[in-house]
């Protein structure tokens, strides 16, 4: 993604970029930094399809999980990033979202619905920022002041589409008519099909139905190659001029006599940044189909840091070195820090990584082909950095009440700017901030805290995965929408509360350890069984969800330690925990997007956490450093600067 919110209002007025010098100094130095993954069902242990994305933007950047209600015909989607507007002519669908805090978007609550599932079972992960080459830009230039973009993609897809194919066609028609204001890739899926949608230039686009026997990894590289039959409408949809426009303008490219979409529109190897290729090399290694050092890539070191450079363009789709990938392994893929790649290991070499400290949110969708759309897709959601976080299972197509432990958009953004999270605690009952603070402490203290905390979070993750199987059996046995909705709400609250209780207790122990300042022995969570790498006291997610007694909305408390629920069967043990980083990594490209959907009402169960609203970045920047005025042209160069 590429967030553009520091200049949203100014862009709408056609005014140059103006904001504090401190903001400029604090913003990420690279323009693109998200990682998108896909794993076909033939390659997974459970026969399910998985896809998702890690958003990178800043070390402490607050995200929110919530529900957008359905709206009557006449509802308008609008955007701060451009003049784009679209008014629906039919009732919209309810959907889940992951959005930014309104303090960063002039108070708007609809910014960037990057991941969710609607009531029809359509899911999407948006967006992966990419780039096009100079010839494509000259022929069909993107105008960032108009057109559909990242701010609105997710909201329109989920609010308007009853199937994934319908979502693809709608996006395509809007780009045909209005153009796009950004280069992006988006994955859209339902219970039958998964599509990769890509904007190629202002008015050209392509969508490919993904097959069950391949994997895909993309760290913001627009030129990764692929072979596609443009005449196969069952598996490929595209703009009318996708081939004729470049042919008429003299920049069409061919491979073995066949029109090559990626080569025609995509950025050249030299235009892709080293941090992007570093993540590509790390990801291919994780999925056991590694690139060969000094043959496929080289390691580049200079004053800008360390990273990878490839000798030729690489494929968008590949075959992993094994099959049988588990849910746990696919969740942990987003925390990959290149531990097994000599020279490109964030732990020892200070390079950028998939599991970077700049992750803000990670989503993984588990899709069971052929099931009822209401229950076919499970959203595994992490609201902080994947290296030290936990993915919570959510039946988002059905959820109408969100756990109050997911802080809503009224919580204060202030804690994001906190540099001392040992003595300055997060807002009460916020899984968002608890996971953020755990991660911050681990990145700051990788040797004393990071190793055992990662082992503990792996144990917790495995219990959530194992107990969700029991919950899922009950969900699949339920046949009514009313019954499924009640169970989804109950499950979402139970999973979130169990995760919060364990993680809050862990965080308090970490704080106590830091305050004691006795670092002779590394930290060990009191709830971690070091012999089995499991939890001493298991969570009660499944038990709480399946309890037959009436459920009242969960009232947040402030537990210091987890309770002592009954001990279920031992869960699958996590793999050997990753070694945390010991060096600060070089920043990669900033994912700067903006995303809007509409002013909406959060639908919450229980009592929401409240706090003050303010524009943290803008206020801090003006207060600290005054105002720096930069031309709009200079800003454009900044966004396109890859390294």
> Is residue 381 classed as helix, strand or coil in its secondary structure?
strand
- Is the distance from CB of 404 to CB of 557 less than 8 angstroms? no
**Residue 553 buriedness (CB in 10 A; 0-12 / 13-18 / 19+):** middle
233-272: pLDDT as tens digits: 999 999 999 999 999 999 999 999 999 999 999 999 988 8
Q: Is the pLDDT of residue 181 over 70?
A: yes
Mean pLDDT, rounded, of the chain: 86
What does the pLDDT read at residue 272? 83
- How distant is the alpha carbon of residue 421 from its chain centre? 24
Give me Rg for the CA atoms of the chain. Answer: 23
CA angle, 201 then 203 then 208, to 5°: 75
Model confidence, pTM: 0.85
Spatial separation of the C-alpha atoms in residues 640 and 643, rounded to whole Å:
9
Q: Is the pLDDT of residue 30 over 50?
A: no
502-532: pLDDT as tens digits: 999 999 999 999 999 999 999 999 999 999 9
β-strand partners of 379: 365, 394
Query: Mean of the pLDDT values across residues 625-640?
Result: 37
Share of the chain above pLDDT 90, in %: 78
Neighbour tally for 116: CB within 10 Å: 31
**Lookup: tokens for 146:** 């108009």
Between the CA atoms of 260, 193, 383 and 2, what dihedral angle is there, to the nearest 10 degrees? 30
Q: Is the pLDDT of residue 611 over 80?
A: no
- Is the distance from CB of 269 to CB of 23 less than 8 angstroms? no
Q: Of residues 9 and 541, which shows the higher confidence score?
A: 541
What does the pLDDT read at residue 32? 60
Q: Is the pLDDT of residue 573 over 50?
A: no
Least confident range of 9-23, 211-225, 229-243, 573-587: 9-23
DSSP assignment letter at 417: G
> Is residue 474 classed as helix, strand or coil in its secondary structure?
helix
Kindly indicate the confidence band of residue 353, based on its pLDDT and cuts at 50, 70 and 90.
Answer: very high
- Using alpha carbons, list the distances in angstroms from residue 121 to 185, 190, 191, 469: 20, 6, 7, 19
What does the pLDDT read at residue 554? 53
> Is residue 503 classed as helix, strand or coil in its secondary structure?
helix
Kindly indicate the confidence band of residue 371, based on its pLDDT and cuts at 50, 70 and 90.
Answer: very high
Query: Mean of the pLDDT values across residues 536-547?
Result: 98
Spatial separation of the C-alpha atoms in residues 438 and 504, rounded to whole Å:
9
Neighbour tally for 642: CB within 10 Å: 19
**Residue 566 buriedness (CB in 10 A; 0-12 / 13-18 / 19+):** exposed
Neighbour tally for 338: CB within 10 Å: 29
> Is residue 246 classed as helix, strand or coil in its secondary structure?
helix
What does the pLDDT read at residue 339? 96
Kindly indicate the confidence band of residue 575, based on its pLDDT and cuts at 50, 70 and 90.
Answer: very low
> Is residue 637 classed as helix, strand or coil in its secondary structure?
helix
What does the pLDDT read at residue 459? 98
What does the pLDDT read at residue 8? 39
Kindly indicate the confidence band of residue 48, based on its pLDDT and cuts at 50, 70 and 90.
Answer: very high
Spatial separation of the C-alpha atoms in residues 26 and 612, rounded to whole Å:
23
What does the pLDDT read at residue 14? 37
Query: Mean of the pLDDT values across residues 558-573?
Result: 44
316-330: pLDDT as tens digits: 999 999 999 999 999
Neighbour tally for 631: CB within 10 Å: 11
- How distant is the alpha carbon of residue 7 from its chain centre? 23
> Is residue 502 classed as helix, strand or coil in its secondary structure?
helix
426-472: pLDDT as tens digits: 999 999 999 999 999 999 999 999 999 999 999 999 999 999 999 99
Spatial separation of the C-alpha atoms in residues 305 and 473, rounded to whole Å:
49
- Is the distance from CB of 204 to CB of 176 less than 8 angstroms? no
Q: Which residues of 449-464 are buried (b: 16+ CB within 10 A; e: fewer)?
A: bbbbbbbbbbbbbbbb
**Lookup: tokens for 208:** 């490919």
Q: Which residues contact 200 (CB under 8 A, 6 or more apart)?
A: 132, 136, 183, 206, 239, 242, 261, 265
Kindly indicate the confidence band of residue 304, based on its pLDDT and cuts at 50, 70 and 90.
Answer: confident
Q: Is the pLDDT of residue 585 over 90?
A: no
**Lookup: tokens for 252:** 């069409």
110-127: pLDDT as tens digits: 999 999 999 999 999 999
Spatial separation of the C-alpha atoms in residues 269 and 254, rounded to whole Å:
17
What does the pLDDT read at residue 615? 36
In sequence order, what DSSP letters do the residues of 157-220 get, joined into one string? Answer: HHHH-SSHHHHHHHHHHHHHHH-BSS-EEEEEE-SS-EEEEEE-SSS-EEEEEPPTT-EEEESS
Query: Mean of the pLDDT values across residues 626-637?
Result: 37
What does the pLDDT read at residue 292? 97
């Amino acid at each position: 993604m590429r967030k553009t919110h520091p200049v949203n209002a100014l862009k709408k007025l056609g005014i140059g970029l103006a904001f504090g010098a401190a903001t400029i100094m604090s913003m990420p130095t690279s323009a693109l930094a998200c990682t998108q993954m896909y794993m076909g069902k033939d390659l997974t242990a459970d026969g399910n399809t998985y896809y998702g994305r890690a958003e990178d933007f800043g070390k402490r950047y607050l995200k929110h999980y919530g529900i957008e209600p359905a709206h009557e015909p006449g509802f308008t989607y609008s955007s701060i990033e451009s003049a784009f507007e679209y008014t629906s002519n039919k009732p919209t669908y309810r959907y889940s979202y992951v959005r930014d805090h309104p303090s960063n978007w002039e108070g708007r609550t609809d910014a960037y619905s990057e991941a969710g599932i609607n009531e029809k079972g359509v899911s999407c992960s948006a967006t992966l920022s990419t780039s096009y080459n100079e010839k494509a830009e000259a022929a069909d230039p993107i105008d960032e002041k108009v057109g559909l973009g990242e701010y609105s993609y997710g909201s329109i897809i989920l609010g308007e589409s009853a199937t994934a194919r319908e979502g693809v066609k709608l996006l395509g028609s809007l780009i045909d008519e209005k153009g796009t204001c950004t280069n992006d890739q988006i994955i859209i899926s339902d219970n039958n099909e998964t599509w990769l949608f890509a904007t190629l230039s202002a008015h050209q686009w392509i969508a490919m139905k993904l097959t069950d026997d391949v994997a895909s990894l993309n760290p913001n590289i627009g030129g990764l190659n692929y072979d596609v039959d443009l005449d196969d409408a069952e598996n490929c949809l595209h703009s009318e001029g996708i081939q004729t426009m470049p042919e008429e303008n003299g920049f069409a490219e061919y491979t073995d006599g066949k029109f090559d979409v990626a080569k025609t529109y995509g950025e050249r190897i030299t235009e892709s940044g080293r941090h992007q290729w570093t993540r590509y090399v790390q990801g291919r290694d994780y999925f056991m189909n590694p690139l060969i050092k000094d043959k496929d890539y080289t390691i580049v070191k200079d004053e800008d840091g360390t990273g990878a450079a490839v000798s030729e363009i690489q494929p968008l789709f590949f075959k992993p070195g094994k099959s049988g990938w588990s849910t746990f392994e696919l969740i942990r893929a987003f925390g990959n820090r290149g531990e097994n790649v000599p020279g490109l290991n964030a732990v020892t070499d200070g390079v950028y990584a998939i599991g970077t400290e700049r992750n803000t949110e990670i989503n993984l969708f588990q899709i069971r082909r052929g099931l009822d759309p209401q229950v076919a897709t499970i959203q595994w959601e992490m609201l902080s950095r994947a290296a030290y976080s936990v993915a919570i299972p959510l039946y988002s197509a059905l959820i109408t009440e969100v756990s109050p432990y997911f802080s809503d958009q009224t919580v204060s953004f202030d804690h994001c700017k906190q540099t001392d999270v040992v003595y300055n605690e997060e807002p009460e009952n916020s899984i968002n901030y608890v996971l953020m603070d755990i991660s911050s402490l681990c990145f700051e203290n990788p040797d004393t805290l990071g190793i055992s905390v990662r082992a503990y979070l792996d144990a917790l993750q495995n219990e959530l995965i194992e107990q969700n199987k029991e919950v899922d059996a009950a969900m699949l046995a339920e046949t009514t929408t009313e019954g499924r909705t009640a169970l989804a709400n109950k499950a979402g609250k139970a999973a979130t509360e169990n995760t919060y209780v364990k993680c809050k207790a862990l965080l308090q122990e970490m704080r106590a350890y830091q305050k004691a300042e006795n670092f002779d022995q590394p930290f060990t969570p009191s709830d971690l069984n070091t012999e089995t790498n499991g939890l001493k006291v298991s969570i009660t997610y499944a038990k709480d969800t399946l309890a037959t007694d009436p459920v009242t909305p969960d009232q947040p408390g402030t537990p210091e330690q987890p309770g002592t629920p009954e001990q279920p069967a031992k869960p699958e043990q996590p793999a050997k925990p990753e070694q945390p980083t010991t060096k600060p990594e070089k920043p990669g490209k900033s994912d700067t997007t903006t995303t809007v959907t509409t002013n909406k009402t959060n639908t919450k169960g229980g009592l929401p956490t409240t706090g003050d609203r303010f524009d943290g970045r803008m206020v801090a920047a003006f207060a600290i450093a005054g105002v720096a005025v930069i031309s709009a042209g200079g800003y454009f160069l900044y966004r396109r600067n890859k390294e």
